[in-house]
Amino acid sequence: MATQKYPRGHVYLAGTWRLFTMEDRVLDFFTNEDGQGITEYGAILAFVAILVAVVFSITQGALTSAISKAFSAVVSQLNHLSSTAGSAS
């Protein structure tokens, strides 16, 4: 079937070439679920982005300093572990 040349505007259904009408295109548009997963992921990502923006605007900078302190503590611990490992070897 891949080597067969198809007529323009036709689709191969049930062993025969059939004209792909506008009705078929509209029906295919509403029943075809290709790309549904990526659309759902995009909607979730947009929701999370809006949620983060709302949280940051409500806390008015308090959250920023808390996140900065947390990352500073992680960096401090990693530096301490690195220097301890360096002195042990």
**Domain locations in the chain as residue ranges:** 1-32, 33-88
Instruction: Look up residue 46 and give its two tokens.
Output: 């947009």
Predicted local distance difference test score (pLDDT) of residue 89? 67
> Helix-strand-coil percent breakdown of the chain, rounded to 5?
70, 10, 20
Residue 13 has pLDDT above 80, yes or no: no
Residue 87 has pLDDT above 90, yes or no: no
Predicted local distance difference test score (pLDDT) of residue 4? 59
Phi, psi at residue 27, to the nearest 5°?
A: -60, -40
Residue of 17, 14, 13 lying closest to 5 (CA atoms) = 17
Residue 18 has pLDDT above 80, yes or no: no
pLDDT tens digits, residue range 38-83?
889 999 999 999 999 998 888 887 888 888 999 999 999 999 999 8
Give the integer Cα–Cα distance in Å for 18 and 27. Answer: 15
Distance (Å) of CA 14 to CA 25, 63, 70, 83, 87: 18, 62, 63, 72, 75
